Structure 1
């Protein structure tokens, strides 16, 4: 009996040794450089117990990643947000002693991290754009068509939205960040992103729906996004995603950003069964139960960066 037990135990140990390393193994997300998560329009780092990247920082930290969540203006131009992020990156580098960071930005956070990588590539190991409107957002184009420059509607909209974003900043503990909702709107239109891409072209596809350069100036470029506006009947935010998706006239989108516009560098996927909020595990984790969990996708990306020595 003892001999049989030892034989069984030996066979079990051999089987474990040759099996693939599971995703939850220690060190799975342990990148060489710190990861900085960057929120999008109307975003924040944390308000009370609610994180913008809901549950994602802890999911990354669970197996070794060093994770920071940036706080930039909830609404402002890409360049203003980019300069704020650049300051934050330098603070993280000073605090950790690292020489570079891995940047992951959602929505307007995508162009924001691209700005930093473009003006200070020596500080950035990788850029991962999550549903970034890298060639503009049709929703922004529609809104800009209704709210004409210099009009009363623009003045009213700007005042109301700036007040809202100021409240977001106060609740998240950053009341000093400047807010400019009209500058944010202009940045996110097709015309605004075309102008931005002329100054910061790194990783942007030269075709309408292709991939961009995987590596530019020593910085690796990645992107991924969802392509399903309606994903969970229990999620009250799905209705707004479904309504906003109509701006795309049937083209694949996540409710706010067209799938082709989300492309940057190496496209991991642009068709996850996620909408724009699911991509950051919102609303409070009410996501598509038939799709890979968003936290897993971020962990997979961390592991991909680790494999590249980043």
Structure 2
């Protein structure tokens, strides 16, 4: 079950990315989300920035821009170490800054994008105003731990899955396509890999087990805000094919609250604003293609509200 679950997830990500075109963005309508510094959205494991018009953060960049936000969408490797992905993000930030005269960014990362934006903050603190993570894999994922325990390095499964990940990277135009590797990413997403990363980048960590961290914390004298959010639901919409996959991966967590891939406690970093949205791991980014539970909050509105929070914080 372990191998088929992961391969289905890889296949689903590729299928979603190539099957439908996103709608064209509307004209600007307001200033509700107009932050002082641009927002950068960073995708997670098996993710992409944009493939044939399909956004990983489905329809979220467009709606943020409609409300006045300047939004950049990072393109980092879908399956690599946190440091590898983080360095790609750092280089893109430098390029955007040089091109557009930007001095600081508000970073928002989903899933593996959470530790990825923390790497950027720790490496380039002078250019980061805030760090926000949605279902960040800060303390690893039991799914990664269990898959690693049952996967033989160099076997047919990891090679086949890696080929699928390289396809996603190629379709998204990522320049490091050949570096995508399933086992490398899973090790980074494991509990031991996350612990090693946290030891190097500890700022914003919760002060107690499954607790909250500081809202304001500095790196090398550079003050920034830290926020985290997550969902704790799995089956949210019977018409969403991804719910069935996440229902399988959720079994790894037993009774521990989770979104199908990340536990509630693992998502905590900085100020925990809310950790029990009725979302699963894909609902958090308005996927698949906006298919959200009928009684769940609108993910697009959530990102606009958080941008407004940053705006009123002077960020």
Q: 2:34 aligns with which of 26, 30, 33?
A: 30
> Superposed, which structure 2 residues align to 1:130-141 within 5 Å?
130-141=134-145
> Superposed, which structure 2 residues align to 1:108-187 within 5 Å?
108-147=112-151, 151=152, 153-177=153-177, 178-187=179-188
On the 8 A contact 2:187/2:193 being kept in 1, the answer is: yes
Partner of 1:65: 69
Whether 2:56 is the aligned partner of 1:52: answer: yes
On the 8 A contact 2:130/2:224 being kept in 1, the answer is: yes
Deviation track 1:138-179 (CA, whole Å, cap 9, x = no partner) reads 1111111112xxx4x544333222211111122112254421
Deviation track 1:99-119 (CA, whole Å, cap 9, x = no partner) reads 100100000000000001011
TM-score of the aligned structures, taking structure 1 as reference length: 0.88
On the 8 A contact 1:135/1:194 being kept in 2, the answer is: yes
CA distance in 1, matches of 2:216, 2:157: 40
Partner of 2:259: 254
Shift in alpha-carbon separation, 1:48–1:25, aligned structure 2, 3 A: closer
Q: 1:230 aligns with which of 226, 235, 252?
A: 235
Shift in alpha-carbon separation, 1:51–1:25, aligned structure 2, 3 A: closer
What secondary structure is seen at the aligned counterpart in 2 of 1:95?
Answer: helix
Larger Rg, first or second structure (1 or 2): 1
Partner of 2:9: none
Please give the root-mean-square deviation of Cα atoms over the aligned residues, in Å. 1.4
CA distance in 1, matches of 2:193, 2:34: 36
Whether 2:189 is the aligned partner of 1:188: answer: yes
Whether 2:215 is the aligned partner of 1:210: answer: no
Shift in alpha-carbon separation, 1:89–1:199, aligned structure 2, 3 A: same
Instruction: Indicate the larger mover: 171-180 or 185-194.
Output: 171-180
Query: Number of residue pairs matched?
Result: 283
CA distance in 1, matches of 2:247, 2:66: 34
Partner of 2:18: none
User: Structure 1 stretches of 5 or more lacking a match?
Assistant: 1-23
On the 8 A contact 1:83/1:116 being kept in 2, the answer is: yes
CA distance in 2, matches of 1:158, 1:89: 32
Partner of 1:282: 287
TM-score of the aligned structures, taking structure 2 as reference length: 0.87
CA distance in 2, matches of 1:189, 1:207: 20
Partner of 1:87: 91
On the 8 A contact 2:31/2:67 being kept in 1, the answer is: yes
What secondary structure is seen at the aligned counterpart in 2 of 1:103?
Answer: strand
User: Structure 2 stretches of 5 or more lacking a match?
Assistant: 1-27
CA distance in 2, matches of 1:288, 1:116: 33
